[in-house]
Amino acid sequence: MQRTNGRNFCKFSAKFIYNISIFRDKFSLNRQISFFLFCNNFFNIFVSRYLQELAMERKKTEIRREEIKKAVLEIIATEGVSKLSTRNLAKKVGLSEGAIFRHFQSKRDILLGIMEDVKIDLQNTLREISIELIPAKERFHKFLCAHINYLYKHQGITILLFSEAAHMNDFLIKEQLNGILKEQKLLIFKIIRDGKSEGAFNKSLDEKMVATLYSGIPLSFNVETVLNKNKFNVKKFCANMYNLLSNVLK
């Protein structure tokens, strides 16, 4: 649609300039000035409307892409990965199956889009928390709860990443997933080292062991939300996980 508008705009511009060049010499100077001012205003209005249409098209596409990614996670969280078909996805979003692939070329692209969201939204938040100028113990609690709250708000994401991404024979997807998990471990290492320096954590603590325990939290989260969907309390779960890890950190 944008390409068609672009071609029409170019054709109109070419005709517009050509017509001006033909009739330019037939007008008096005053009429030429008036004509050019009129044409300039008309041209500016046309360009402005065309750019507005382009912006609206981009916005519609971005909104649709977000709706599709959200629908993928909702289907996985409520019905399971086996129900994630193009047909179910199209029904959930209210689009035709063909329309889905106007926004994403494939299921792989949807998965990469979701992983990119994790990198931007979750990873940036965790990164900021890891360097906050507060005691390491408080930082660790804040880091943990921010992570769990993100998973709660985007239920289905851990199932998608650990079942689909981890088992797909796709180098780029596995590399992206590995990068996310590696960075999370490095951020945890930093908080633990700071805690050791402050005397808040055991100095003989094995940082890799803590990171390994921490990496199991998303899986525990999945089990709890599936088994206790209606009774799940995110604050209580965060407190329980923090108490568990605090005993290890002492």
Per residue in 116-166, pLDDT (tens digit) is 998 889 999 999 999 999 999 999 999 999 999 999 888 888 877 776 666
Tell me how far apart the alpha carbons of residues 24 and 145 are, in angstroms, rounded to a whole number. Answer: 71
pLDDT band (50, 70, 90) for residue 97:
confident
Q: Lowest-pLDDT range, 3-7, 140-144, 186-190, 240-244?
A: 3-7
| Res 128: pLDDT | 95
Q: What is the value of pTM for the model shown?
A: 0.71
CATH of range 106-249; options 3.30.465.10, 3.90.180.10, 3.40.50.300, 1.10.357.10: 1.10.357.10
| Res 114: pLDDT | 87
Q: How much is the average pLDDT of 74-100?
A: 83
Sequence-distant (6+) residues with CB within 8 A of 141 are 242
Could you read off the pLDDT of 172-231 as tens digits, one per residue? Answer: 888 888 888 899 999 999 999 999 999 999 888 888 888 888 888 888 888 888 777 778
| Res 63: pLDDT | 84
Closest CA to 125 of 183, 197, 62, 51: 183
User: How far, rounded to the nearest angstrom, does the alpha carbon of residue 166 sit from its chain's CA centroid?
Assistant: 19
Mean per-residue pLDDT over the chain, rounded: 79
| Res 3: pLDDT | 46
| Res 10: pLDDT | 54
| Res 223: pLDDT | 82
| Res 159: pLDDT | 79
Q: How much is the average pLDDT of 231-249?
A: 89
Sequence-distant (6+) residues with CB within 8 A of 39 are 16, 20
Burial class (CB in 10 A: 0-12, 13-18, 19+), 213: middle
With the CA atoms of 235, 236, 240 and 242 taken in that order, what torsion angle do they form, in degrees rounded to the nearest 10?
20
pLDDT band (50, 70, 90) for residue 21:
low
Q: Where are the domains of the chain?
A: 2-101, 106-249
Could you read off the pLDDT of 42-79 as tens digits, one per residue? Answer: 666 665 565 544 444 554 778 888 888 888 888 888 88
**Is it the case that residue 29 has pLDDT exceeding 70?**
no
| Res 55: pLDDT | 46
